[in-house]
Amino acid sequence: MDINQTLPQVDLPPNMIHLGLGQPSNHLLPIKELEKAAAHCLSKENSFFLAYGEERGNANFRQTLAEFLTGQYPNPVDPGQLMITNGNSQALDFICTLFARPGDTVLVEEPSYFLALRIFADRKLNLVSIPVDDNGMVTDVLKKKLETLKPSFLYIIPTYHNPASVTLSFKRRQDLVKICAQKDLLVVADEVYHFLNYTDDPPPPMGNWIDKCPLISLGSFSKILAPGLRLGWMHTSPDLIKKMTMSGLIDSGGGFNPFTSEIVNSVISLGFLKANIQRLKNVYHQRIKIFCDQLRIHLPDQAVFKVPQGGYFIWVRLPDNIDTKSFRKAAQKQNVDFHPGALFSHKKGLKNYMRLSFAFYDEEVLAEGARRLGKVISENLS
Amino acid sequence: MDINQTLPQVDLPPNMIHLGLGQPSNHLLPIKELEKAAAHCLSKENSFFLAYGEERGNANFRQTLAEFLTGQYPNPVDPGQLMITNGNSQALDFICTLFARPGDTVLVEEPSYFLALRIFADRKLNLVSIPVDDNGMVTDVLKKKLETLKPSFLYIIPTYHNPASVTLSFKRRQDLVKICAQKDLLVVADEVYHFLNYTDDPPPPMGNWIDKCPLISLGSFSKILAPGLRLGWMHTSPDLIKKMTMSGLIDSGGGFNPFTSEIVNSVISLGFLKANIQRLKNVYHQRIKIFCDQLRIHLPDQAVFKVPQGGYFIWVRLPDNIDTKSFRKAAQKQNVDFHPGALFSHKKGLKNYMRLSFAFYDEEVLAEGARRLGKVISENLS
């Protein structure tokens, strides 16, 4: 078996175990369910979803999605609070077009999702970061920063953070909303991992507070169904949706993904989404156990990490004087790889960290990866 | 029958004939073919297209598309010259992100596609226009303008222009390429109507000259298959593709539409695309005959237009002192509507024009629309 599954964005030597990869295993992509859903939706007489779509997304899909989210969240979601996107990367890009200009300041977390940082860099935005601790973004620091700064928006990954794997506490969520309401600061919450909890439920998603401060909660089918669909949603206030649907891009192209939306509408209606999420949670939970056990066995004591409660990632901290990037080549020589911490810092800090993930490989491969990584780290700490 | 087909972006009174609408009739959207194509592609074992896609688009889809285009164009197209998009609106938006900054100058035609103008407005671009005559953009004026201006790019609709319905002549294409090569000016050619010719073949698409000057030719499945797919392509040089695939948006989300790409790959492989284009050409050609006949009968002599050789549009000119917008309300009262000329001018000129289309309504409705429109124009010219 080719452990690297010959996926399009994964171009690796056959025996390499790249523990940094943040995408699901090929065999976890539910093609049979999509086949049934496509047959279900395309056998209909009504082909409205082949025309230019409603600006905010197909009405019936938003209805189905709102019902699904209402079943998952502590508070009801209304279809009028949803706008369909091509996934969170496109949503972030779109938000940059509408809410920021080159040179504007945007607040991010330290660490933050490295490819969001790249999207912001393409827009020539000026990034300022707020540190993250075990309870997520340190809201006291945010408050302080906002005494002098006037950012265009704040980008946060509140739940099962990428890469830090921490979750913003309920108390901090309330603080964040209060602070941003006072300053009229738009919060862009990337909640892509919200449904992937392996222990207790997380706090309510930030979408819970859309009537309390300017806030867009980004959801996606990439982690709970398939990234190749390029489908997601924004959960936000009707006022912000109205503003966004008036953009030239939407006016010209119509809603973002009407065809795929209708197929995913069938996926949800046929009950496949709920079943798929449960299946993923079972698989990932099992992987975490094995992987963390093996990491504890093979990594030296100076490599510290917490067992993730959800999401995709393990964030490993090494002693302050270590730059994980410095032994990446040595790791690759031993057929193991990781994402060095500095990737996740807009100011190239966090050099002593590395991001690992258990989304892509099966347990056996993860165990072997942990063994190889332990060896490399041990050799480079001594 | 509801003549307005209750489409998502079409919110009209039931008896209104909106001759401005530039989208295909509902019954021309090939849902049965898409059903078969989805079954064909989703019954496969390999689900690579559900993962994050290759940055420039699925390799096998680009291969299929290149073969298709090679069969249609005078010169061969290589898969390495193609990058898949979410349709031309998204492609334009993406090009703005990568090649322009707010305040930059962009050259457009006068007239130009009104929603492209909106996309550029969202980016706070400074628009300068080049006039269009019966042979398309007047390249002598372009040359003159470029003596003083340094635009970020030039946006042109070379074939079956929206709204002017003219086609850039072969000679002008060569001029354009020569001028832009000299000035190293990026040409963005929106070639969405290229395949919809109703008489002779048009000149070669601008993609023919990608090795002669910086040029991106935008193609789309919106007009030849279905707008709701949100799928298109760029035909350009490998160098420009490399630059674009290095953007943060692509790095984060992967290729733009891998799932839908694979379904359309099956559409093409099964021979449905070629058949669908032929069907559309037959239908539209027939509609043009009837509609133009009726317009000639009912419109007063001062309303001048040419029979379109391809595309979607008829561009009607009224006497210079007429503002077509001034009688739009009167038209709506008589249950007919159109797009006034000023929409297509970034400087609100062209007031004495109107855009009509035959893409949305059947012949009978078009004939009735021509009758109603003739009455309104006659009343407002006297």
Nearest by Cα to B119 from B108, B130, B111, B110 = B108
**Taking CA atoms, what residue in B is nearest to A249?**
B119
> For chain A, where are the alpha helices, taking DSSP H only?
31-42, 59-72, 88-99, 114-122, 139-145, 170-183, 238-245, 248-253, 258-269, 272-298, 328-333, 363-381
A187 forms beta bridges with A154, A215
Radius of gyration of chain A measured on its C-alpha atoms:
21
Phi, psi dihedrals of residue B133, rounded to the nearest 5°: -120, -160
Distance CA B303, CA B294 (A): 13
Examine the pLDDT at B326 and tell me if it is beyond 70.
Answer: yes
List chain A residues with CB under 8 Å of B7.
48, 51-52
Instruction: Give the three-state DSSP class for A343.
Output: helix
Distance CA A53, CA A83 (A): 12
Its pTM stands at: 0.95
Q: Is B136 left (phi over 0), alpha (psi -120 to 50) or beta?
A: left
Res B7: pLDDT = 61
Instruction: Give the three-state DSSP class for B274.
Output: helix
**Taking CA atoms, what residue in B is nearest to A98?**
B122
**Is A39 in contact with B43 (Cβ distance < 8 A)?**
no
Nearest by Cα to B307 from B298, B316, B299 = B316
Give me the residue from B29, B44, B89 closest to A253, CB to CB.
Answer: B89
How close B10 gets to chain A, by Cα (Å)?
9
Q: What is the tens place of the pLDDT at every residue in B260-272? A: 999 999 999 999 9
Nearest by Cα to A96 from A81, A80, A116 = A116
Res B9: pLDDT = 57
> B88-99 vs A88-99: helix axis angle to the nearest 10?
60
Question: Taking CB atoms and an 8 Å cut-off, how many pairs form between chains A and B?
Answer: 227
**Is B252 in contact with A116 (Cβ distance < 8 A)?**
yes
Give me the residue from A49, A97, A226 closest to B228, CB to CB.
Answer: A49
Phi, psi dihedrals of residue B216, rounded to the nearest 5°: -120, 120
Strands A336-337 and B126-133: what pairing?
Answer: unpaired
Peptide bond into A151 cis (omega under 30): no
Res B8: pLDDT = 61
pLDDT band at B250 (very low <50, low <70, confident <90, very high): confident
Examine the pLDDT at B205 and tell me if it is beyond 60.
Answer: yes
List chain B residues with CB under 8 Å of A58.
8
**Is A101 in contact with B93 (Cβ distance < 8 A)?**
no
Please give the angle made by the CA atoms of A233, A235 and A239, to the nearest 5 degrees: 120
Contacts of A79 (CB under 8 A, 6+ apart): A59, A62, A63, A65, A66
Tell me what ipTM this predicted complex has.
0.93
Ordered DSSP codes for B225-255: T-GGG--EEEEE-HHHHHHHHTSHHHHHH-S
Q: What is the tens place of the pLDDT at every residue in B279-317? A: 999 999 999 999 999 999 999 999 999 999 999 999 999
User: What is the DSSP secondary structure assignment for residue A344, as one 8-state letter?
Assistant: G
Phi, psi dihedrals of residue A192, rounded to the nearest 5°: -65, -25
Strand order in the sheet with B82-85: B82-85, B232-236, B215-220, B186-190, B153-156, B105-110, B126-133, B136-137
**Is A35 in contact with B39 (Cβ distance < 8 A)?**
yes
**Taking CA atoms, what residue in A is nearest to B57?**
A8
Contacts of B155 (CB under 8 A, 6+ apart): B92, B106, B107, B108, B109, B112, B116, B120, B188, B190
Nearest by Cα to B356 from B42, B19, B16 = B19
List chain A residues with CB under 8 Å of B103.
none
Q: Is A278 left (phi over 0), alpha (psi -120 to 50) or beta?
A: alpha
Distance CA B5, CA B361 (A): 9
Give me the residue from B23, B48, B254 closest to A51, CB to CB.
Answer: B23
C-alpha count within 13 angstroms, C-beta hemisphere, residue A150:
2
How does pLDDT run along chain A (382 residues), one tens digit per residue?
566 665 665 678 889 999 999 999 999 999 999 999 999 999 988 889 999 889 999 999 999 999 999 999 999 999 999 999 999 999 999 999 999 999 999 999 999 999 999 999 999 999 999 999 999 999 999 999 999 999 999 999 999 999 999 999 999 999 999 999 999 999 999 999 999 999 999 999 999 999 999 999 999 999 999 999 999 999 999 999 999 998 888 887 788 999 999 999 999 999 999 999 999 999 999 999 999 999 999 999 999 999 999 999 999 999 999 999 999 999 999 999 999 999 999 999 999 999 999 999 999 999 999 999 999 999 998 7
For residue B88 the two structure tokens come to 């031309």
Mutate: best of A251, A252, A265, A266, partner B, most B CBs <10 A: A252
Res A2: pLDDT = 65
Give me the residue from A47, A101, A254 closest to B31, CB to CB.
Answer: A47
List chain A residues with CB under 8 Å of B35.
38-39, 42-43
Res A378: pLDDT = 95
A127 forms beta bridges with A106
Instruction: Give the three-state DSSP class for B108.
Output: strand
Give me the residue from B29, B92, B101 closest to A50, CB to CB.
Answer: B29
Q: Compute the average pLDDT of residues B53-62.
A: 94
Q: What is the tens place of the pLDDT at every residue in B105-155? A: 999 999 999 999 999 999 999 999 999 999 999 999 999 999 999 999 999
Res B4: pLDDT = 67
Q: What is the tens place of the pLDDT at every residue in A94-138? A: 999 999 999 999 999 999 999 999 999 999 999 999 999 999 999
List chain B residues with CB under 8 Å of A9.
51-55, 254
Q: Cα–Cα distances in Å, from B30 out to A166, B36, B39, B60, B263? A: 47, 10, 15, 23, 13
How close B299 gets to chain A, by Cα (Å)?
30
Contacts of A307 (CB under 8 A, 6+ apart): A288, A292, A314
**Is A8 in contact with B258 (Cβ distance < 8 A)?**
yes
**Is A51 in contact with B24 (Cβ distance < 8 A)?**
yes
**Is A119 in contact with B248 (Cβ distance < 8 A)?**
yes
**Is A8 in contact with B254 (Cβ distance < 8 A)?**
yes
3-state helix, strand, coil in chain A (%, to 5): 45, 15, 40
Give me the residue from B58, B122, B247 closest to A122, CB to CB.
Answer: B247
Nearest by Cα to B218 from B186, B183, B180 = B186
**Taking CA atoms, what residue in B is nearest to A38?**
B38
Answer yes or no: are the C-beta atoms of B81 and B241 closer than 8 Å.
yes
User: What is the DSSP secondary structure assignment for residue A185, as one 8-state letter?
Assistant: P
**Taking CA atoms, what residue in B is nearest to A223?**
B51
User: What is the DSSP secondary structure assignment for residue B202, as one 8-state letter?
Assistant: P
Check residues B356 and B53 and name the one with the higher pLDDT. B356
